[in-house]
Amino acid sequence: MSASSKTPHDAAEIERRLLSALRGLPDFSRLYIAYSGGLDSSVLLHAARRVWPAEAHIEAIHVHHGLSPNADAWMEHCQKECRSVDIRCHAHPVSVAMNGDGLEAAAREARYIVFEHYLNECAGAVLLQGHHQNDQAETILFRLLKGHGVKGLAGIPGQRSLGKGMLRRPLLGFTRSELEALAQRWGLSWVEDESNVAAVFDRNFLRNDILRPMSARWRNAVAMIAETGRRMSEAANLLDELAEMDLQGESISADELELAVLSGLSPHRRKNALRYWLQTAGFTPSEGDLVEILAQMLHAEGSRQPCYPLGESVLRRHDGKLYITERIDAPPSEYEVVWPLAEALLTPVGRLMAEPATEGLRQPTTDETVIVRFRRGGERFRPKGRGGSCPLKKWLQEQGIPPWRRDSIPLIYFNDELAAVGSYGIAEQFVASENAWLPALHPIL
């Protein structure tokens, strides 16, 4: 356990600023404190109790990662401190699974899963985290070395939504030394994570071997780096506003974008608009992604239909538009199954069910077998009202069905005759207006 030996003369002013910042927070239904037991979260815990009376609904969340031999002692310390200020402590153990981004990133992901779980329990809940100005400076330097752009160099946001609640960071305007002064003024003790001195972790190296020498030479280094982040945040907001202006119009939606909108912009605004559209859809494209997407999609010949992977999704070009779609594996072309209509049929693309309809397919006769297949090529279809048959491929094109969906449409046969193309169309000779049914495809969740 640690306590600072320094007592800066302005500790009372630091206390005033912090308590004022907390009082300025919007109303909440429940307040959670992300409480590790370290300096910053300890100050936050005790500050919250000073601001809000005992009847306020405040609870602490301690995530027990189990990565340190001292983890159990830290949990006991947190529970003891919470009891001292009459705040309930949720000690939540997690299993940290290593991923490609390293142990720090895996532990962070595990924490946020826990935080989101608690915020989802109560609408209007707020979670306070203790990130301070030194954390902000470390984050900005780290992202600078990773080649981040304006949005990344804005650093840690002061607030954002998480699950059904809000995550807020009221300590971003305070340095670690200010928090140490306040902790001493209040007589607090806190835990020190021994891994914070391990230079094998990038952020520790930045904190101990870069920022400390910088701060010794330039006294306001941390504050100035954080100020640069604030200005980057302003610039990022302006770029978003510009993108919104460039993307205005009926041709814009969450998962499709008219290529003409992008082609009418200057190269820099084009890239900015594409980045914004992808980010609003939940993706974080790199600079390389944006360059490659524009090269493939904007300048492809009209007949080509390129696609670009985006995590579990795919960006596709078709008919002058960009589409964000799920990854679609075409079912095997040799697939052929008899379908007893009274039962749901599990196919490679979902569960197929026969649902009653006022107009749809007639019931099969006793000598007809209902068979489900997928496209093999060369099929012909005689849709109602056309006056004759046509190639199925041509009909699908006429319906505006994108190419990547065509091979996944169940084809319904009565014996060897194509009776229906999923729920898109019925062959004229099989239409019924009573005792009718339609094939309905339900995805497997």
The pLDDT of residue 190: 94
In 319-389, beta strands by DSSP E: 321-326, 336-338, 345-347, 350-357, 360-361, 370-373, 380-381
**Lowest-pLDDT range of 3-7, 20-24, 86-90, 142-146:** 3-7
What is the tens place of the pLDDT at every residue in 185-214?
999 999 988 777 666 678 888 988 899 999
Phi and psi at 237, nearest 5°, equal -65, -40
Tell me the mean pLDDT in the region 161-165: 94
Name the band, by pLDDT with cuts 50, 70 and 90, for residue 156: very high
CB atoms inside a 10 Å sphere around CB 267: 8
CB atoms inside a 10 Å sphere around CB 242: 16
CA 175 to the chain's CA centroid: 30
pLDDT value at 223 more than 70:
yes
Determine the Cα–Cα distance for residues 358 and 217; give it in Å rounded to an integer: 81
Determine the Cα–Cα distance for residues 131 and 158; give it in Å rounded to an integer: 9
Residues 6+ apart with CB under 8 A from 68: 74, 193, 194, 195
Burial 355-394 (b: 16+ CB within 10 A, else e): eebeebbbeeeeeeebbbbbbeeebebbbeeeeeeeebbe
Determine the Cα–Cα distance for residues 306 and 93; give it in Å rounded to an integer: 45
Identify whether the C-beta of residue 322 lies closer than 8 Å to the C-beta of residue 260. no
Residues 6+ apart with CB under 8 A from 160: 166, 167
Q: What is the DSSP letter of 384?
A: T
Q: Which of 285, 307, 282, 281 is nearest to 296 (CA)?
A: 307
Residue with tokens 């009459």: 86
The pLDDT of residue 243: 94
Burial 146-161 (b: 16+ CB within 10 A, else e): eebbbbbbbbbebeee
The pLDDT of residue 137: 96
CA 333 to the chain's CA centroid: 35
Q: Decide which of 47 and 327 is more confident.
A: 47
What is the tens place of the pLDDT at every residue in 310-345?
988 999 998 888 999 888 777 888 899 999 999 999
Q: Decide which of 228 and 405 is more confident.
A: 228
The pLDDT of residue 142: 93
Identify whether the C-beta of residue 36 lies closer than 8 Å to the C-beta of residue 196. no
CATH topology identical between 11-231 and 247-326: no
Determine the Cα–Cα distance for residues 241 and 158; give it in Å rounded to an integer: 19
- The enclosing H or E element of 168 equals strand 165-168
pLDDT value at 226 more than 90:
yes
The pLDDT of residue 355: 93
Identify whether the C-beta of residue 336 lies closer than 8 Å to the C-beta of residue 427. no
Name the band, by pLDDT with cuts 50, 70 and 90, for residue 301: low
Domain ranges of the chain: 11-231, 247-326, 336-442
Q: Helix, strand, coil: what percent of the chain each, to 5?
A: 40, 20, 40
The pLDDT of residue 256: 86
What is the tens place of the pLDDT at every residue in 236-282?
999 999 999 999 865 566 778 989 899 989 999 999 999 999 998 88
Tell me the mean pLDDT in the region 382-399: 90
Determine the Cα–Cα distance for residues 206 and 107; give it in Å rounded to an integer: 19
Tell me the mean pLDDT in the region 151-159: 94
Mean pLDDT taken over the chain: 90
For residue 301, the SS3 value is coil
The pLDDT of residue 387: 81
Determine the Cα–Cα distance for residues 33 and 89; give it in Å rounded to an integer: 9
The pLDDT of residue 118: 95
pLDDT value at 8 more than 50:
no
Identify whether the C-beta of residue 256 lies closer than 8 Å to the C-beta of residue 172. no
Flag whether the pTM goes above 0.85: no
**Lowest-pLDDT range of 150-154, 304-308, 436-440:** 304-308
Q: Which CATH superfamily is domain 11-231 in?
A: HUPs (3.40.50.620)
The pLDDT of residue 410: 95
Q: Decide which of 14 and 101 is more confident.
A: 14
Name the band, by pLDDT with cuts 50, 70 and 90, for residue 7: very low
Instruction: Look at phi and psi of residue 435 and say left if phi exceeds 0, alpha if psi is from -120 to 50, else beta.
Output: left
Name the band, by pLDDT with cuts 50, 70 and 90, for residue 5: very low
**CATH number for the domain whose boundaries are 247-326:** 1.20.59.20
- The enclosing H or E element of 91 equals strand 88-93
Tell me the mean pLDDT in the region 355-360: 91
Tell me the mean pLDDT in the region 137-147: 93
